Amino acid sequence: MEHSTCATDSGSMRERNEDALLCMPEQHIYMVADGVGGHNAGDKASDMAVQTLRQRILETPPNLCDDEDRLMDYFLELLNEVNDRIAKSGEERADQAGMATTAVILYLCRERAYVINVGDSRAYLYRDRQLRQITEDHTFVNELIKNGAITKEEAELHPKRNMITRALGGEKKLQPDFYRFDVFSGDRLLLCTDGLYNELTEEEIRDVFETTSSTEAMSEQLVRRANENGGSDNITVVCVAV
């Protein structure tokens, strides 16, 4: 049984927290969502994503470790429902027009991890004193980096660095990324919104994992350090120790 701690904070500069999280350790499912900045009712979108998934997972848990194709279909069906609900709500209410949210989900099944991602919230794996980003950001600047148009350093200062290219509620045909990998005793997994990784370097995040032994201490230190470094956005983390 894994150990997990989930934490969210509005940050030092924001009055409203538009992040949301889902922690279901009994079902081995975790999620963070970030209401898209610049849209109306981002907090409504992220909360709708979390609450819809929670309800559906409780009604029909995955329990599909031996059939990975069906497992992927299961999560795709859930995310499509969320996508449709957010889009429909935005169409029906003027005050929620254009709302959307990122989402990154972790499902642990026996000795394997499944990660599903839409947007720029991230999943990391810490193993053998190394931190590795599992997900790929669905952002405009990441596309420029992949095409060789700009460097990672230039992306940090790009005027469109916060523009995401995929989101729940923001597209008719949902295109999530799926990742699958084995996990081992001692592995640590992190889900987070950009309010964390925009304030902390990967070296700083790795340092927290190296110097703490409990998921409670990990999450507390990550949030605290992000606030100390500016806290310019909402900060949400899910720390899981296998």
Measured distance between the N- and C-terminal CA atoms of the chain, rounded to whole angstroms: 7
Residues β-bridged to residue 9: 235
Listed in sequence order, the DSSP H helices in 21-159 are 42-59, 68-92, 140-146, 152-155
pLDDT band at 40 (very low <50, low <70, confident <90, very high): low
- Say which DSSP state 214 is in: S
Classify burial at 89, counting beta carbons within 10 Å of its beta carbon; exposed 0-12, middle 13-18, buried 19 or more. middle
Choose among 15, 5, 196, 170: nearest CA to 102: 170
Residue 96 has pLDDT above 70, yes or no: yes
Question: What is the distance between the alpha carbons of residues 242 and 30, in angstroms, rounded to a whole number?
Answer: 13
**Residues present in the chain in total:** 242
Confirm if 198 and 204 have CB atoms less than 8 A apart. no
Classify burial at 172, counting beta carbons within 10 Å of its beta carbon; exposed 0-12, middle 13-18, buried 19 or more. exposed
pLDDT digits (tens, 9 = 90+) for 49-84: 999 999 999 999 998 787 888 999 999 999 999 999
pLDDT band at 209 (very low <50, low <70, confident <90, very high): very high
Q: What is the pTM of this model?
A: 0.94
Tokens 């729940």, residue located? 168
Tell me the domain boundaries of the chain: 3-241
Tokens 């900045």, residue located? 37
Residue 39 has pLDDT above 60, yes or no: no
Q: Which token pair is 30?
A: 């975790």
**CATH number, domain 3-241, options 2.102.10.10, 1.10.3480.10, 3.60.40.10, 1.10.580.10:** 3.60.40.10
SS3 state at 168: strand
Residues β-bridged to residue 108: 113
